[in-house]
């Protein structure tokens, strides 16, 4: 199974939200990252075939998705950023409803619903109204509905938004369990969500795909560029003028910072082992991670 994206472009009036994106995806987990407004949701909506591109093409196994039409949509599971739930529905009624929209036969749907509720750890809550669910439970139910029909392409827009750290760990494990032969594309602001499970990271900046690479390769690229410095507080402005500086840590009159620089920034700067979350500093000049 192969998804080929060629010159995919989408503008809203004068705003170019996705700009000439070309990529080839094969089974595995892809982490789509980028700051707010980078175009992640727009790209995912086009992949989910709920938004038409202004230009460009998406092909599945060499066939244009416009030609495949229903045959493409039948193979997709999509969790939108804002998954509108019917709050008076119970979890199982919601999944039954979504299964019928996907054209899954009743008996088959019942079997899948049971399995999926178990997978997302909501079996005990299957008869509870969604209105009483926490944000994390709703997100897990959203993941279950995306998995109905055993889709070959799973598109998850910020699936971990609103999950607490424990739920995020559970989600990571769930994703590595279900990835298998599927292509999974998930967008996130939180690098640790994809650190151990992403086959490749897709970096989107101002609508452009500026990087598609394995996490190891990205880390290699950052080697020799990440520094830890300690400066007096009055030198911080100067440091920020010259370098891309991450979170500052105040220690008395001194400030410690992690920064990106091709050369050693100060005489006592110490080289650091790059971490995947340094991607945010490197590509966007901002920090990413659990605190965002």
Binding site for ligand ATP (CB under 6 A): 12, 15, 17, 34, 36-42
Contacts of 171 (CB under 8 A, 6+ apart): 139, 140, 143, 159, 160, 163, 193
CB of 24 to ligand ATP, least distance (A): 21
CB of 45 to ligand ATP, least distance (A): 8
* E strand segments, 90-182: 153-157
**Closest CB to ligand ATP among residues 39, 159:** 39
**Closest CB to ligand ATP among residues 15, 214:** 15
**Closest CB to ligand ATP among residues 7, 103:** 7
**Closest CB to ligand ATP among residues 44, 174:** 44
**Closest CB to ligand ATP among residues 39, 151:** 39
CB of 37 to ligand ATP, least distance (A): 4
Question: What token pair was written down for 260?
Answer: 């990106």
CB of 173 to ligand ATP, least distance (A): 24
The 8-class DSSP code of residue 235 comes to G
**Closest CB to ligand ATP among residues 37, 165:** 37
Instruction: Say how far apart CA 132 and CA 33 lie, in whole Å.
Output: 31
CB of 210 to ligand ATP, least distance (A): 13
CB of 246 to ligand ATP, least distance (A): 20
Instruction: Say how far apart CA 64 and CA 100 lie, in whole Å.
Output: 26
Secondary structure string (H, E, C) spanning 232-264: EHHHHHHHHHHCEEEEEEEECCEEEEEEECCCC
Half-sphere exposure of 174 (CA within 13 A, CB side): 22
Instruction: Say how far apart CA 178 and CA 155 lie, in whole Å.
Output: 13
> Is residue 77 within 8 Å of residue 124, measured between CB atoms?
no
SS3 of residue 146 by DSSP: helix
For 37-69, b where at least 16 C-beta lie within 10 A, e where not — what string? ebbbbbbbbbbbbebebeebebbbeeeebeebe
CB of 21 to ligand ATP, least distance (A): 12
**Closest CB to ligand ATP among residues 282, 284:** 284
């Amino acid at each position: 199974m192969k998804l080929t994206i060629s010159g995919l472009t989408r503008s809203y009036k004068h705003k170019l939200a996705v700009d000439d994106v070309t990529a080839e995806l094969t089974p595995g987990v892809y982490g789509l990252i980028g700051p707010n407004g980078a175009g992640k949701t727009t790209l995912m909506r086009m992949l989910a075939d709920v938004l038409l591109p202004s230009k460009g093409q998406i092909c599945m196994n060499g066939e244009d998705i416009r030609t495949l039409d229903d045959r493409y949509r039948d193979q997709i599971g999509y969790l939108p950023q804002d998954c509108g739930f019917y709050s008076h529905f119970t979890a199982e009624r919601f999944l039954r409803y979504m299964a019928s929209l996907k054209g899954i036969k009743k008996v088959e749907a019942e079997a899948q619903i049971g399995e999926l509720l178990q997978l997302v750890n909501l079996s005990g809550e299957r008869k509870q109204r969604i209105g009483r669910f926490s944000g994390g439970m709703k997100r897990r139910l959203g993941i279950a509905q995306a998995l109905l029909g055993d889709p070959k392409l799973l598109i998850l827009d910020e699936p971990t938004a609103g999950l607490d750290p424990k739920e995020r760990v559970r989600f990571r494990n769930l994703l590595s369990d279900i990835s298998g032969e599927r292509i999974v594309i998930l967008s996130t602001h939180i690098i640790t969500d994809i650190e151990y499970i992403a086959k490749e990271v897709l970096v989107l900046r101002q609508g452009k795909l500026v990087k598609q690479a394995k996490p190891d390769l990205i880390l290699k690229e950052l080697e020799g560029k990440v520094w830890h410095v300690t400066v007096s507080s009055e030198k911080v402005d100067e440091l920020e003028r010259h370098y891309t500086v991450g979170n500052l840590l105040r220690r008395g009159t001194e400030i410690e910072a992690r920064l990106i620089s091709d050369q050693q920034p100060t005489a006592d700067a110490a080289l650091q082992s790059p971490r995947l979350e340094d991607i945010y500093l490197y590509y966007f000049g901002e920090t990413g991670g659990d605190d965002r």
